[in-house]
Chain A
Amino acid sequence: MARPEVYGIRDVSPGVQEEPRRDLGERRLRRISAWFMLFFLFQGQLGATWDREWHAYVGRDWFWTLPHILIYSCVTGAGLIALGVVLGDTVRYRRGRVGVDASSTVPVFGLFHAPLGYIVTGFGALLALIAAPLDNYWHQLYGIDIALWAPFHMMGVTGAFIGTLGMVYIFASEAAIDRQQQRSGRRFLGITALEWGALMSLAGLLNFTLIGFLQFPLVSVGVLRIPTYLLPAIAVGMLCLVASVRLVARPGAATITLVLLFVYTLATELFVPWAIRTAVELQGLLYRIPGRVPFFRWSDALLPLAFLVSALIVDGVAWRRWRQGKKLHGRIGGAWLLGLIITVPAMIFTCCVINWNLNVAQSFLDGPGSVIPLDMKLFAALLAVPVVLLVGICGAIWGADFGDIWRLNSR
């Protein structure tokens, strides 16, 4: 069995009568806020996918489309909650309330004292809100199809990414506080509710990448056009899988994150085509291409399959260490090697799944009917594969770093 973690005088023993909490008010404030924010995260991601499909099937007819309302109400809601907790905890810190001290908050600008996760999430929400009018302005100037690679789209996406990352900090720090106070709590599959929240946030981070990655640009090399979607997909995929295991310190966490991601993609795929058809009918709108109506696609719902083999490898390695009684987080060498190994299947399967989804093979052709010689394809592969492997290694190293931080950080 794995070694117990060292946190204090006695071990965590489920079933042992736990002392009543002195910091109950603070824990309630942070945890209730966290679950509300997780709800907003789901809502925002549903809105983001809906918006992407709305662009493709209907077109951006004005700023206040239904998907935009879903996205920006989520950003506003999450931002306000984060602001509330940051301000509330600053006041509570100054009043010396139990549970709000230097071990559970970080100072910001020497003025505020709040949990790191809420600061990061609030900053992400603020960025996304600032980007919204600027993005609308850019659309007014340059049209509705400027897609992801417009400056203020990137700003909004970065804000959402930072916000989602902050969500992981929020749940993980609360789970760390429970571990430090030796409170076991109820577990499902050996994972506490707060750790489930952190894994859901990580799955959300990966889902967010999947939503946008088909929009990434093509790099032109002569007549070849190489899609760059693999770079964000692999980087964030490897980060999330490695971080999952380190955060929970249990084998199986990577696969669980992937199952959660599958639940997201399936629910989204069930909802979005129906929502577009219903909204178009109710609002009397026109489809961009008459007769091209959205419908449920397994190829979208099964996108997480691209990472299944990689997740199983990560969990397999973790399970082997677990059986040998070795730790699953902390100073463990070889994160880069694990990254290299798990990037190979992810790279192959992502290409297969995307080909099934979109027939991206066509994007390698300069135009319909063009024939690309084999040597040119090999050149493209030689150019792309090392870059993707490097990105995967970086993703795994970052995953190890962030996983450890999420495991240990109580601030």
Chain B
Amino acid sequence: MRKALTMGACLAVLCFFLLGAGSLQAGSAPGQSQTLIAGPYTIDVTLSQNPPFTDQPFEITVAPHGSNMALSGLVVAEPGLGTDATNLQTTLTPSTTTRGAVSGWLHIPVRGSWQLVFHLDGPLGQSSANLAVTVGAPGAMPVWLAWSIAMIPLLFIAWWVYWQRLYRSRLLREKEQLAETVS
């Protein structure tokens, strides 16, 4: 029983640190503004978390640089080379915190390189701009350790099948004894 409790406690601690590491790193970086050229528009892009962190929602704010042009559009997050994921998108809506700006929220599920593509619409027509970001993730666990943890239940199944064979013999014996008693 002590062994089982120790093993359970180790797994719980491991899960806690894996999840905890993500939130600690995610909260570490403040937003930083970058200026991009999107055709006729010059825009200031601010990410509420830079670099973004996997599965942590972050806000993208787009403000026209040195003008009051009303912009709309959407942001598409495209996985870069070597990042196994699909495109994600968010619609830009008027920001509640920055006057004249538009914003949207994204949560990116996989670490690695991503391109944020801004599709903008305004009085000067449609245009787009790209911003490369590298999404962070918790530190990688060694593959051998991951498989070792994941295989623990298979050991249980192997033991279970063996124990059930013995249990079946016991049940059949009990039934035969009962039959003899009745007859």
Contacts and interface: CB of A to CB of B under 8 A. Distances in A.
B153 A398 contact: no
A96 interface: no
A405 B168 contact: yes
Interface in B133-162: 137-138, 140-141, 143, 146-147, 149-154, 156-157, 161
A138 B153 contact: no
B153 A408 contact: no
A62 interface: yes
Contacts of A60: 86, 109
Interface residues of A, number: 49
B175 A330 contact: yes
A365 to B, nearest CB: 24
A140 B109 CA distance: 6
A75 to B, nearest CB: 14
Contacts of B168: 401, 404-405, 408
Most buried by A among B150, B151, B171: B150
Contacts of B11: 130
Contacts of A288: 86
B149 A155 contact: yes
A330 B112 CA distance: 58
A63 B137 contact: no
A405 B167 contact: yes
Given A61-B86, A159-B153, A133 B110 contact: no
A144 B153 contact: no
Interface in A94-147: 109-111, 123, 127, 130-131, 133-134, 136-146
A167 interface: no
B15 A62 contact: no
A134 B54 CA distance: 14
Contacts of B141: 137
Given A6-B182, A138-B146, A330-B172, A286 B1 contact: no
Most buried by B among A6, A145, A402: A6
Contacts of A158: 153-154, 157
Contacts of A405: 164, 167-168, 171
Contact of A9 (B138, B143, B182): B182
Interface of A: 6-9, 58-63, 109-111, 123, 127, 130-131, 133-134, 136-146, 151-152, 154-155, 158-159, 162, 284, 286, 288, 330-331, 398, 401-402, 404-405, 408-409
10 contacts: A6-B182, A9-B182, A61-B86, A110-B1, A130-B15, A140-B137, A140-B138, A151-B146, A155-B152, A158-B154
